Amino acid sequence: MTTAAPGWKSNQHKMSVLGVVAVMFLTMVFDGYDIVIYGAVLPTLLAEPHHIGHLAPAVAGTLGSYTMIGILFGALGAGAIGDRIGRRKMMLAALAWFSVGMAMSAFSTSIAFFGATRFFTGLALGVITAGGGAVIAEFAPAHRKNMFNAIGYAGIPFGGVIASFSALWFEDAISWRGLFLIGASPILILLPLAWFLLPESPRWLTAMGRTDRAREICRKYDFPEEQFTRDEIVKLDHDGAVVKKQKIGLAAIFSRHFLLGTLMIGLMSFMAIMATYGLNTWLPQIMQINGMSSDGSLYSLVALNAGAALGALAAAKIADVIGPKPVIITTFLIASTCMFAMPYLTAAPLMYTAIALTGLGVTGTQILVYGMTSNYYPTRARQAGMSWAAGFGRLGGIAGPAMGGLIIALGLGASDAFLVFAVATVIGAVATAFVPPRDNK
């Protein structure tokens, strides 16, 4: 008989949870691929109108925002969808939906149809982004919550790195359409894997009154029943009598107890995602305006997303020790400092280092925000809290690409673009400082 690692009920329990985290990581890889691939092929679409039509910079920014609008609605709807059909079915359906949307984008021949497919794909991405964190939070043990959340969401910048290299190496051979078809592959690869490795949430089953099924899943995967099947919907007094039914979902996160934290988390997410999507959409174009070569500008996306992925994992390790709040404030301020300095850097090593640290401070920070959010609320409000952070944050994702397009259209320089996103991260740091301490009562 093998001995379980500390903090785990058994090795089977550990492997089951790691399987869930692996599925979420791979799902987020395709999320990140979608975020970056549009920005990576945007110079081609701007320069060659025969693909989908003549694309002005302002219109290109608007097209980038269509995905964000879809993500906004998908994320806000994820809570209701997950509560109605369960976390497992929600994630499987979103993977299939996303694949279809990416395939439709690949075959677009007009700006209008391309924009519609980006919105369609965004709906699935919103469900994936909001649902993924809630799934990880429900299965991860307490001593690994921030780290496992960071591993799952690190798939987003990792997918961005894959998208950047794919554009560098394969666009000439398979065209931008082939790059979008790569994004449609989850239906063939990831969906079957998720079908076998992703169980339904025992907590959701318990909340639905299906306690026997919840216990059956706990036995199958060797999950600790005391962690997964407690009924957290009602509150008991010391005699064991039901005192009152607690608020759940959106009613809970906007209750007096959580209101300030909810508003500040929304603002943090808005600012981080505004900078993330603005830079992922426009960084290659901004760097070309600043004198960088076409290939060099795509490597800037690699640096941005590699810094986010690696930096977020290191930051999450620290957050598990000292808590996420001081870490998030620090990473926000790292990003603002780098973006204020970037227009004045001329040496390539310094420039790419600053871009990588900016990736930590924007995309990496958003990963930490999701981790903080998923653990800030109790189970009865967790999915709603994640939907709020992902959904309201996507308003920033709408503003970021549109603002970048406006800056380019007005003929402003790289310093103006970086200044806008630097100010956003300063505001994010201030909002983080005002989040009240976590108290799951």
User: Which residues are registered as beta bridge partners of 193?
Assistant: none
- Look at residue 36 and give its three-state secondary structure: helix
pLDDT at 142 over 90: no
pLDDT at 40 over 60: yes
Categorise residue 413: left if φ over 0, alpha if ψ from -120 to 50, beta otherwise: beta
Domain count for the chain: 1
Segment 288-313 shows an average pLDDT of: 81
Q: How far is CA 235 from the centre of its chain?
A: 32
Q: Which among 102, 111, 104 has a CA at the least distance from the CA of 50? A: 111
Domain extent, residue 292, equals 11-201+251-433
* Residue 440 within a domain: no
Which residue do the tokens 């929304």 mark? 266
User: Which segment, 8-12, 176-180, 219-223, 414-418, is predicted with the most confidence on average?
Assistant: 176-180
* Residue 305 within a domain: yes
Evaluate whether 370 touches 149 at the Cβ level (below 8 Å). yes
Residue 228: pLDDT band (50, 70, 90) is: low
Query: DSSP states of 396-437 as a string?
Result: HHHHHHHHHHHHHHTT--HHHHHHHHHHHHHHHHHHHHTPPP
Distance between first and last Cα of the chain: 39
* Residue 298 within a domain: yes
* Residue 97 within a domain: yes
* Residue 222 within a domain: no
Segment 123-144 shows an average pLDDT of: 82
Q: What is the mean pLDDT of the chain?
A: 83
pLDDT at 17 over 90: no
* Residue 441 within a domain: no
Instruction: Quote the pLDDT of residue 144.
Output: 75
Q: How far is CA 7 from the centre of its chain?
A: 27
Q: Which among 210, 188, 208 has a CA at the least distance from the CA of 84? A: 208
Residue 408: pLDDT band (50, 70, 90) is: confident
Instruction: Quote the pLDDT of residue 179.
Output: 93
Structure tokens at 252: 């809970």
Whole-model pTM: value is 0.76
Structure tokens at 393: 């944050």
User: Which segment, 207-216, 257-266, 367-376, is predicted with the most confidence on average?
Assistant: 257-266
**Of the candidate ranges 264-273, 282-291, 365-374, the one whose mean pLDDT is the lowest:** 282-291
Residue 246: pLDDT band (50, 70, 90) is: low
User: Which residues are registered as beta bridge partners of 242?
Assistant: 236
Q: Which amino acid is located at 218 in the chain?
A: C
- Look at residue 342 and give its three-state secondary structure: helix
| CATH number for the domain that contains residue 170 | 1.20.1250.20
* Residue 304 within a domain: yes
Structure tokens at 3: 């001995």
Residues 6+ apart with CB under 8 A from 250: 79, 384, 388
* Residue 245 within a domain: no
Structure tokens at 238: 């010391």
Q: Which among 168, 161, 166 has a CA at the least distance from the CA of 356? A: 161
Residue 153 parent element (H or E): helix 145-153
Residue 178: pLDDT band (50, 70, 90) is: very high
Per-residue pLDDT of 355-405, as tens digits, reads 999 999 998 899 899 888 878 887 777 778 888 888 888 788 778 877 777
**Of the candidate ranges 25-29, 80-84, 225-229, the one whose mean pLDDT is the lowest:** 225-229
